[in-house]
Chains A and B, each alone.
Chain A
Amino acid sequence: MNLALVDPFVLAQDCPEVITGHLRSGHSTSIRFSHRGHLLASGRHDGIIIIFDIETNGVARKLRGHTRQIQSLSWSTNDRYLLSAGQDWKVVLWDLQDGSRLRTVRFEAPIFIAELHPKNHHLFVAAVVEDQPVLVDTSNETPVKHPLSSAPLRTQEERDNATEKQTAQDARVATTVTVFTPSGDHIISGTSKGWLNIIDTTTRETVYSNRITNNIIVFVRLTPSGRDLVINASDRVVRTLHLPDLSDPALDFSTLQLEVEHKFQDLVQRLSWNHVSFSPTGEYVTASTWMNHHIYVWERGQGSLVKILEGTKEELSAVEWHPFRPFVAAVGVDTGRIWLWSVLQPQRWSALAPDFVEVEENHEYVEKEDEFDIQPLEEIHKRRLNQEDEEVDVLTIEPVKTTTGVDAGDIGFRMPVLLDIEASDSEDEVVAVGAGQYRRRNDKEWVNDDDVGDTATNGTGVQNGTKRRRNQYG
């Protein structure tokens, strides 16, 4: 409801600018925003999952169940369920209503990524190290695993002419990443040999394969519309592709040609990329850099680098874009903090003084005809009251539509507010402060009272001198 009042220039900014704060609870390793953007799930080094409330920057829930580092996180479309994959070879489906473990699925190998089906939270796909990817049905207590193929799709002709070497190679292909398309009808997987496979979810057969690169595909991410794809490969190139509408029944996969739209790379420094993600509309691509402190933001219209987000003193791993705001979160590799970049809104002083208007240039003041006429006050009051004759509708609620199609006003699943979350936070938690050095987490620390975060987040707070007061009570 605030959109009508916010400065349109601020709203027009769709790319984050500066660090506005950080979130902290333990050593985070992977993050994911909920679809409505209220919550941020953070998987920790010690296997605990923290749900942050983005509005309060506080911990909303803690999920305990994994014993090792969290590898990937995936939200259900209604934001009630969360799927987590850990390095303890387990995938857990959480119900955030009460924080319970709905299902636990064990694997025989570490898991690269596990993604929930967009329409059925009892179905997920996982890419497993040195094994075939699996589609897991958890609707019953005992999960059913359906293996999927990693090998690229070969035509009959190719298969007939295939040499022994090639067949052996195809068999050795491992899937490194799997994601669902937004409709859930197809799975897009990337392999260690640079193949991009499209697998039909119902038949579990590979319907399309295309070799994008000769190197390992590390990560794949789709836009919410499902029409754009970004691929991070180990050849230090981030590629974007435009996809056809895969759920279109008229689509013929045998004639499908996927063209790489853009190749983003740093030719000078030969940077490799830790993690990539799209902005909500797919207009921007962000990538965190290996052994570097920067996040690169490319714009896809021209394929140019538009911004480098910086300000941290550490390398960043996972980088995620908020589902509809110009807001980027990234995980620091060394401290495990989650850094937040956003747009700073300057206070418009005219909002504070109702009699003033901000103008670009001087205006000649034109006096109104009756402006200085002396009239009895009662007369004015009476006239004003009589003018209030319009019909007023205080009840009808107009739906607010956002660009991503998710109704921002729709709160959807409402996670219960836990009042005693702090108590569970006070248990032993240690923070690495250097090589082999640990200390207990300081209670005050995870609020935004750090040097960098403070000046930005507290924008207004600093101005009126309440920063000190807050720390006092914080």
Chain B
Amino acid sequence: MSSTRDLSPSPKRHREDDDEDTSASPPRKRTATSSPSPSRSRTNSPPLATSPTALPSRPAHRPSRSESRENEDSYYHRATPPSPPKPTSLHYTPHLLLTGHKKPISSASFSPSGTLIATASADCTIKIWDAHTGALHHTLSGHLAGISTLAWSPDSTTLASGSDDKTIRLWNTSTGSAHPKPFIGHHNYIYSLAFSPKGNMLVSGSYDEAVFLWDVRSARIMRSLPAHSDPIGGVEFVRDGTLIVSCANDGLIRVWDTATGQCLRTIVHEDNAPVTSVKFSPNGKYILAWTLDSCIRLWDYVEGKGRCVKTYQGHTNKKYSLSGAFGVYGEGRKHAFVASGSEDGSVFLWDVSSKNVLQRLEAHTGAVLSVDTHPSEPLIVSAGMDKTVRVWRCSDVLVNGAENGHREHEGYDDEVELPPYPFA
């Protein structure tokens, strides 16, 4: 992996120091002082890594074992009426392979309208693809450094991108042109962006430890949240826009009131592992947080001081800022799953309640940095270090009812074989 050295001096999710370097050097501060390009990866021996608690202590093949046991549990204890049984596995299959980025891809996401996919890469460009055919619509260039994050406006007409050139840019997704006024204000790399549900505000989290709330119309900073004492990992708006969540390498997740800018809640796990990404659940009642101890935790942030209700494990996440999404499956689309990439190149889908792994997609040859689910169809997009974007489609008849299959091979580039899965 030492080849990643020559990545652009920027994209958050792609940087990692040489492994030897890490082992040789004494524990250093977590900031970027040691390398010309601060890395989001925490190979610089984060202080917590020295504590054994930071590493989840679990048997090697725990997921499969717990799966079977919890299935028994649910069988005996859940006296639910005989509604259609909840599927115990999902069958997403390769649908599209999108190639073109010259460097690792930090972010891939479906537009809220579901018609487009945007991907941001360390090669300083954003590509907009058709979500169903995989045709490349636009390549947006203008950023001077790698791009770490993307955010779609709720009406899908505008795309915001945050880059290591410290600016946020807005793009018109139908014409591919850049908004003339970049959002300038951050003093360091921008890691995370989110639009408010009305599209009038943008929240940004940066390596400079600040969370800014922007007035999208005037491209001005409306408010600065005195958020964290370490680089910000992720930010997001809740469903109705009244709350903002932010997380940082200091291991804290903070919930803010959008209107007043006040911190309403701070959530911390006792291991204090750096939090790299946060997502509100679709109904806004829970927060899903990715931490660098190879765990994804689901928090009930309302109750008490915040309570961890679920821990999803099985993937590897020690260096990179991975991100994922919630998805739905089953009859009536009423069950939820959590999708996330893994540093071993696969994509994991967990059932939200049972924590079982529903499917493990052997997806990429490098770490899968970004996974997103389609807003209305059983599609998943994943992208990562291997510079490719893959779209997965669930062709399970039980899961999707009538709507399936007819596009199964259409648009899928048969000539490009999936690379052999190296971890099998």
Contact with B along A53-74 (1 / 0, CB 8 A): 1011111100000000000000
Q: Which of B155, B219, B258, B285 has the most CB of A within 10 A?
A: B285
Neighbouring B residues of A466 by C-beta, 8 Å: 224, 226
Q: Which of B53, B78, B218, B310 has the most CB of A within 10 A?
A: B218
Are B259 and A352 interface neighbours, CB within 8 A? no
Band of interface residues on A:
35 or more
Measured between alpha carbons, how far is A58 from B239 in the docked complex, in Å?
Answer: 22
Are B257 and A377 interface neighbours, CB within 8 A? no
Q: Which one of A4, A397, A417, A422 contacts B153 once the chains associate, using CB atoms below 8 Å?
A: A417
- A256 touches B (CB below 8 Å): no
Neighbouring A residues of B400 by C-beta, 8 Å: none
Measured between alpha carbons, how far is A418 from B172 in the docked complex, in Å?
Answer: 12
Measured between alpha carbons, how far is A408 from B240 in the docked complex, in Å?
Answer: 9
Q: Main secondary structure on chain A at its contact with chain B?
A: loop
- A161 touches B (CB below 8 Å): no
Q: Which of A384, A398, A408, A422 has the most CB of B within 10 A?
A: A422
Are B309 and A392 interface neighbours, CB within 8 A? yes
- B308 touches A (CB below 8 Å): yes
Are A392 and B226 interface neighbours, CB within 8 A? no
Q: Which one of B52, B153, B200 contacts A55 once the chains associate, using CB atoms below 8 Å?
A: B200
Measured between alpha carbons, how far is A137 from B281 in the docked complex, in Å?
Answer: 46
Contact with B along A433-474 (1 / 0, CB 8 A): 000000000000001000000000011110110100110011
Q: Main secondary structure on chain B at its contact with chain A?
A: loop
Q: Which one of B198, B261, B281, B308 contacts A411 once the chains associate, using CB atoms below 8 Å?
A: B198
Q: Which one of A388, A411, A418, A461 contacts B355 once the chains associate, using CB atoms below 8 Å?
A: A388
Are A409 and B153 interface neighbours, CB within 8 A? no
Neighbouring A residues of B222 by C-beta, 8 Å: 56-58
Measured between alpha carbons, how far is A461 from B73 in the docked complex, in Å?
Answer: 51
Are B217 and A378 interface neighbours, CB within 8 A? no
Neighbouring B residues of A357 by C-beta, 8 Å: 305
B139-147, B262-270, B380-388 - interface stretch: B262-270
Are A394 and B257 interface neighbours, CB within 8 A? no
Given contacts A1-B243, A392-B352, A417-B200, contact A60 B217 (CB under 8 A): yes
Residue of B nearest to A419 (CB): B179
CB distance from B223 to the nearest CB of A (A): 6
- A144 touches B (CB below 8 Å): no
Measured between alpha carbons, how far is A392 from B183 in the docked complex, in Å?
Answer: 38
Chain A positions within 8 Å of B, measured between CB atoms, are: 1-2, 4-6, 38, 53, 55-60, 345, 347-348, 351-354, 357, 377-378, 381-382, 384-385, 388-398, 400, 408-409, 411, 414, 416-419, 421-422, 447, 458-461, 463-464, 466, 469-470, 473-474
Sample 16 A-B pairs with CB under 8 A, ordered by A number: A2-B243, A2-B257, A4-B302, A58-B200, A351-B263, A354-B268, A392-B309, A393-B283, A393-B285, A394-B286, A394-B326, A395-B282, A395-B328, A417-B217, A460-B226, A473-B220
| Top 7 A-B pairs, shortest CB-CB distance | A394-B281, A464-B226, A5-B264, A2-B242, A466-B224, A56-B215, A378-B57
